[in-house]
Structures are given as structure tokens and as C-alpha cells.
Amino acid sequence: MAGEMYCDVAIAGCGVAGLYTALCLPRQTKIIMLCKEDMDSCDSMLAQGGICVLRDDNDYDAYFEDTMKAGHYENRKESVDIMIRSSRNIINRLVELGVRFDKNPDGSLKYTKEGAHSRPRICFHEDITGQEITRTLQRHVRSLPNVRILEYTEMTDIMTVGSGCAGIRARTAGGEVLCIHASDTVMATGGIGGLYEHSTNFPSLTGDAIRIAGKHGLRLEHLDYVQIHPTSLYSEKPGRSFLISESARGEGAVLLNGKGERFVDELLPRDVVSEAIEMQMKKEGSRHVWLSFAAIPEETIKKHFPHILEHCLEEGYDICREPIPVVPAQHYFMGGIYVNTDSETTMPHLFAVGETSCNGVHGKNRLASNSLLESLVFAERAAARIAGEQKGKYNYESNYHAACC
């Protein structure tokens, strides 16, 4: 027998996109959230470098151009504009919620720089910015009486009534089938890294929402736009690749070949740097290149990159004393379920946010540290759209019982 559940909004995914959608919805909205594994096993937790913000009005043109250039000018300009203009409000809101961004002695936000950025405009917390933001959002969402979170519960399909989405079919770890009836449904299940042998993503990210969307004939976009991150720590151990944040190169770390020579501008877009590394490895017949932190003061390393330092020490490398072996790895998916600027898919009452969606912000190649920002901006817009549509109350028992399993 299938378990029947009813809510106003069903959200599949508990990364920053799903969490912020829930947090931005009115408090009277009854929300059910699904998490495929435990709450901490989401890729948002792994983001190291930071989150972009428009520094000031004079930075707009440069930030816009940096995003477009990194995306090979295949970005949707309207989406890029919305993201950039919304960025300061997002950062202010995160600070209000308690996110501990690194600050200067005068209390102002400290900014760092990453590849393809023309100036420092990235807010960060040490080298675990994603973890800091995600755990802050988790804390707030868990405190909401209108939100129920189901961990170890996997979305297996969506339910439909007529041409619209009417909720989610799911399966618990114990094998129970759930039919979660909802007026509006949000897909926020992340990317596709679990389909790759070498990826910085959690293995559980297997493109579930994209597969389901394709099954129901929804419009998908740019499924071949997969980003390779230039620097993951080379290891022969199986499992998820450990990311070495691009902000390390922004602070002065350089790439070296087997002879200890630089061979590329480390701050070019990720696809360009990854290609240069692959060419160098092929030329040398090697399985990795080297990343040297020698130009970064030891005090900066210990303060800005403490977790990278700790992990590398566990692997036998002291980044304060020696270069580390690095290799490109699958990192991010720019394609996904096509959505408009309000995160609406081509099926009524079905939304997609975060890496699952494709709103066109990233184009063919994502600019560093735009992912967290894009997820939050368009999650907020999805919540606003849903809230506007749900001003009237629904009788879910009668209106949606026809969609039961």
C-alpha cells in the first residue's frame, strides 16, 4: 500500500536551492521536503571558494562581461542581469541569517578572486563557504513548524493531473512508496556527478529530476554542457575527488609541470585551464600536474584554506612546504531542466531550481562562485511565484486524490 501525504509545496532536494525555496515561502505554506540521503550529503556542502556579489554599481559591466565571457556568450542575458542585480540583497539576507563571511578589521566583507573574474568580488568563509551557508539555512528551515523533512527518501517520479504536476512519488529507505500530493512541486536534486567515475560531487547526484522530466516530455536544455574543474587532488583511491578551490589560484597558487615550470595563466576560465592541464599531461605522459602554494603566505593558507591544508596533510602533502598533485575532474552541470526566470518548467505547477535547472545564467561554462548565488536568486523567485499563485487555499484531499498511486 502507498502512503498518502498532502501539502502545499513538495520540494525534492535539501541543498541551498531547496532550503532557500522553503525559507522564502510564506509561513502558512505546508511544505514537505525530500532528501535522498542525509541532510549533509548535498553538493552545496562541498562548495569551497565562495559566493559572488556585485561590489558596487561600477562593477556591473565587468561582472556581466566576466559571466558572459566564461559562458562563451551563450548565457541568457536576462537571467544574468537578474542574478547580478539580486546579489547584494542575497548576501545581506545571508548575513542576517547568521552566515559568517570573512571580514576585514573594519567589519566590511572581505572579497577574494577566482579564475575569469576581473576583480575580487567573492564572499567566503574560510574554504568551506558552501558548508557555512548550507548549515545556516538548515538550522533555520528545521526550526519552521510548517516544514517536514523526510531524509533517506528518494523521488522516483512526479504525479500529474491533466497537463500539470500534482506532486511527487517517492520511496523511503525501508521501501515504502509515498504519494506526496501538492499544489506546486519543486525539483532541486542537484547535478549529475554520480554518473562519472571521477567527480567532485557526491555519488548520490545521478540526475534523477532530469531523467523524470525527460520521461514526462518536459523541455531540457544543454545536456552536453558539463564543466570540468581544473584542480582536484590527484589520488588513486576510489570515491569522490577532493576539490582544491579555485580561490587558491586567485590568492596566488600556480600550476606547474613535471619540470616545475608554469604552463598556463591559472586565472583563465575553467574549461581553458582544464584543457591546458590535459594537454600538459598528454605531453609529459603523466597522470597529474602540480599546484604550488609557495607564493601564498603561510598565515593566509592557515586562515583561508585550513580544510584544504588539513585534508592534504592527511594525504601526505603539506601545501605550506611542497606542491600537490592535481588533475581535472567533473564538477558542475550547466544544462538541465529548462526554466524561465521564475524557475518554472514547461509543465504547470512544476519548478526546478539549482543545478537541476537550466535558466541560462551559466551559458556553456560557469563562472567561478556563481553557482551558490544563482541557486539562491532563482530559488527566491520560485518561492515568490508559488506564493503568488497560492493565495487561495486548496482542498488537496478532494482535488488531488485522483493522482494517487
Starting at the edge strand found earlier in the chain, the sheet holding 324-333 runs 226-233, 324-333, 289-292, 254-256
Contacts of 6 (CB under 8 A, 6+ apart): 30, 180, 181, 182, 396, 397, 400
Q: How far apart are CA 308 and CA 244, in angstroms?
A: 7
The reply to whether 325 and 347 lie within a common domain is no
Phi then psi for residue 193, to 5 deg, are -60, -30
Same domain, 259 and 339: no
User: The domain that contains 294 carries what CATH number?
Assistant: 3.90.700.10
pLDDT at 267: 92
Name the active-site residue from 121, 249, 270, 381.
270
- Please state, in angstroms and rounded to a whole number, the distance separating the CA atoms of residues 49 and 401: 46
Q: Is the domain of 34 the same as that of 140? A: yes
* pTM, 2 dp: 0.89
pLDDT of residue 2: 65
Residues 196, 339 share a domain = yes
In contact, 190 and 205? CB cutoff 8 Å: yes
Active site residue 321: no
User: What CATH number is given to the structural domain containing 180?
Assistant: 3.50.50.60
For the chain, the residue count is 405
Round to whole Å and give the CA distance between 288 and 294: 19
pLDDT of 401: 34
Residue ending a domain, among 287, 303, 330, is 330
Quick one: 262 and 203 in the same domain?
Answer: no
380 within 8 A of 20, measured Cβ to Cβ = yes
Q: Tens digits of per-residue pLDDT, 196-238?
A: 878 999 999 999 999 999 999 999 999 999 999 999 999 988 8
Residue recorded with cell 545564467 = 361
Give the range of the structural domain holding residue 65, as residue numbers without chain letter.
Answer: 3-224+334-403
Do residues 25 and 147 make contact, with C-beta atoms less than 8 angstroms apart?
no
pLDDT tens-digit profile of 159-175? 999 999 999 999 999 99
Domain boundary, last residue among 330, 365, 391: 330
Integer CA distances (angstroms), 325 to 126, 161, 230, 255, 312, in order: 22, 53, 12, 10, 10
Q: Are residues 258 and 316 both part of a single domain?
A: yes
What residues have CB less than 8 Å from 150, skipping those under 6 apart? 32, 33, 34, 35, 170, 172, 178
Same domain? For 218 and 251 the reply is no
Can you tell me the distance from the alpha carbon of 343 to that of 260, in angstroms, rounded to the nearest whole number?
A: 47
Do residues 194 and 322 make contact, with C-beta atoms less than 8 angstroms apart?
Answer: no
Q: Note whether 153 and 269 are same-domain residues.
A: no
Q: Are residues 193 and 292 in the same domain?
A: no
Cell of 23: 525559507
Residue ranges of the chain with per-residue pLDDT less than 50: 1, 394-405
Question: Same structural domain for residues 120 and 181?
Answer: yes
Quote the number of domains for the chain. 2
The reply to whether 270 and 156 lie within a common domain is no
Residues 235 and 368 in one domain: no
Question: Where does a domain end: 303, 330, 357?
Answer: 330
